[in-house]
Structure 1
Amino acid sequence: MASKLTARPPRFVLLAAFVFIVILLSLMFSSKRPYVNDFPARTNPLEFGTGLISSISDEAPMADETGTERLAYATFLTATMANLDDPNDEHDLYFIATRILAWQILHSPVTATNRSIPFLVLVTEDISESKRERLTMDGATVVPVEYLREGTDWIHGEMPEWRDVITKLRAWQLTEYSRILFLDGDMILTGPLDDIFDIPAATPASTIRNEDIQISDEESPPPDKYVLASIAEVNPVHAPNPTVENGDFKDPDYFNAGFFLFSPSQPLFEHYKSIMNIPYRFDPRYPEQNLLNYAHRPEGSMPWQDLGSKWNIRFPNLDDLASGVQSLHDKWWHPHMDGRLNEFYQEVRWRMEGFYEAWDQGIGFE
């Protein structure tokens, strides 16, 4: 029998030690934040469906009266991926993924924003109140949205649970923000993403209007300026730091809508809706992704801009992680291509759980 001197320390002692280290590291990083995105947190939910509340303009300003941009990170959470008969929130893998993303963007000393950029979670009506409260406690800004279903009867994604991903387009109605980096929930960060807002591809571009580019009369006119930047989707098997020359991309002109930077705009939202309501204007296999790729095709009036593969990779492998890519588009519970990543994913997940367990006990930040 082990003596008291050699017995395992009580659980609360281990937790306290872990919390002390997390807080110490976090304070070290947070003390180095020179930029503050000081747009106030939302106090009232937006009511979607018939338009935004009247105080929101059609176009997002690039800066407020102080010259400070209103930047944001955002993701989308719907219940179409969850078992609504299961009351245990911990069994909803995409909900856990969203919590991981919130922790990484807002709190992790390795990946958190250095500019106090808020993290928005667009939630549909079937996301439970307990999940909304948990995300709010985690530091996220919960944004209720209505499903975007009118005129979408012809849209059937490759998988049944993708039927409502087109609702991601509601993000373009968040015109109180100037630019937003949108990330799908199944994303693991390896480093901070703030600097992505500073690269040329992430700045406004002028819509091309000339006789060589015809816009269908069935589509509403696009705005004069827009921001849409993303990354070409790689092949499942690819080299680290993928290149066109190496044949690493499925199609260098086709981007993945799980990671993109944009500027909210009500006219652009209406333009997307007009496209959505034209049956088979785009391939509905990947609904919102193919709509956006059509609207921002390279030969069109609003070509998308390339952010560069250092920021995100689809179908990641261990070599991608070692190469320094800033985020991995993969499921924390099931690596798609490389099982060796599972240990890293689980470490991130449990660091998140440990942080919030301490947070809930009142051991957190001022």
Structure 2
Amino acid sequence: MIEGLQADRPAASRLAYVTLVTNADYALGAKALLRSISLTGTDADSVVLHTGGVAGEDLAPLRALGARLVQVDLLPTSTSFNEAHARDRLHGLAPFTKGGKPRFHTPLDNFAKLRLWQLVEYERVVFIDADALMLKNCDRLFHYPEFSAAPNVYESLADFHRMNSGVFTARPSVATFDMMLAELDTPGAFWRRTDQTFLQHFFPDWHGLPVFDNMLQYVWFNMPELWSWPAIHILHYQYEKPWQDDHPKAEKLAPLIALWEAFAGDGPVPVIASLPGPQG
């Protein structure tokens, strides 16, 4: 057993879609994501990395959907690193100005996704944030090089130089993981957008995925001309989450919230290509 990981069963494939669950809210998101992945007909494993504080009752629906559950420890980072990336301090130094992060969002926990590089039982993995849906089969992504990610485009094309870490390709390797740990927590380290900033630093020559492989929900109202249901493979609910009761953009994003609710339930899901667009 690799230190920091505890799996509930062996791998069934050499390929895996991986997500991260650090609390009950992200378990809700992961349930919809896992169902969406299963509906694409993939033969790859679905793996949920989860921290020890997530209750068994929140994990049970994920196991029922066929997920392989892997309990992970938070990274062994220093006290100064943890203080610098605590929610209130980080958001104070690097406030979000375009949208809001829910209270259950814990920035320091984001770094736990780096443990996917310890999943050496897999040859190739695709990471997907738990606040996303897979709308079309994405198995082709397993053949993309490490490290591939889509640009962080949701307001203007000027953002193409920044990547979004909600979807990326990786090749598990203990050596890579060890190099990451050595690079992550150096004196005075501050990663403005946590894992996203760190991964762009660690993989400066990252390969670009099409925006349709990680379509950010704000494109719906900021760049409607870029939206194309037939082309979207993964829809990512960045900032506000579709299951939030106090959703400040619920009216603007109502069709996308309704879509998430369909996948989060047990009933039929709509034919994606037939959905009306932002101006439909």
With structure 2 as the length reference, what TM-score do the two structures score? Answer: 0.74
- Shift of the alpha carbon at 1:261? 0.6
How many residues are treated as equivalent by the alignment?
Answer: 237
Determine helix, strand or coil for the equivalent of 1:131: helix
Corresponding position of 2:159: 250
- Shift of the alpha carbon at 1:337? 6.6
C-alpha root-mean-square deviation of aligned residues, in Å? 2.9
- Shift of the alpha carbon at 1:251? 4.7
Determine helix, strand or coil for the equivalent of 2:213: coil
Alignment of 1:277-292 (within 5 A): 277-281=185-189, 283-292=190-199
- Does the aligned pair in 2 maintain the 1:77–1:122 contact within 8 Å? yes
Identity %: 23
Corresponding position of 2:14: 70
- Does the aligned pair in 1 maintain the 2:15–2:45 contact within 8 Å? yes
* 2:167 pairs with 1:265: no
- Does the aligned pair in 2 maintain the 1:333–1:342 contact within 8 Å? no
Distance 1:78 1:93 in 2: 8
Distance 2:165 2:79 in 1: 19
1:180–1:275 Cα change, 3 Å:
same
- Does the aligned pair in 1 maintain the 2:35–2:263 contact within 8 Å? no
1:117–1:336 Cα change, 3 Å:
farther
Alignment equivalent of 1:93, drawn from 10, 25, 42: 25
Q: Which amino acid aligns with 1:250?
A: D
Distance 1:332 1:323 in 2: 21
Distance 2:159 2:184 in 1: 24
- Does the aligned pair in 1 maintain the 2:6–2:72 contact within 8 Å? no
Determine helix, strand or coil for the equivalent of 1:256: strand
Corresponding position of 1:329: 236
1:321–1:338 Cα change, 3 Å:
farther
- Shift of the alpha carbon at 1:279? 2.5
Corresponding position of 2:202: 295
Corresponding position of 1:30: none
Higher strand share: 2
- Does the aligned pair in 2 maintain the 1:136–1:142 contact within 8 Å? yes
Distance 1:268 1:286 in 2: 21
1:263–1:150 Cα change, 3 Å:
same
Higher helix share: 2
1:321–1:339 Cα change, 3 Å:
farther
Q: Which amino acid aligns with 2:243?
A: W
Question: Structure 2 stretches of 5 or more lacking a match?
Answer: 92-104, 269-280
Alignment equivalent of 1:184, drawn from 129, 139, 142: 129
* 2:261 pairs with 1:349: yes
The C-alpha deviation readout for 1:40-66, integer Å capped at 9, x for no partner, is xxxxxx5533x899xx9xxxxxxxxxx
Question: Structure 1 stretches of 5 or more lacking a match?
Answer: 1-45, 57-67, 80-91, 204-226, 239-247, 298-302, 357-366
1:52–1:130 Cα change, 3 Å:
closer
- Shift of the alpha carbon at 1:170? 0.7
* 2:38 pairs with 1:122: no
Alignment of 1:122-141 (within 5 A): 122-141=49-68
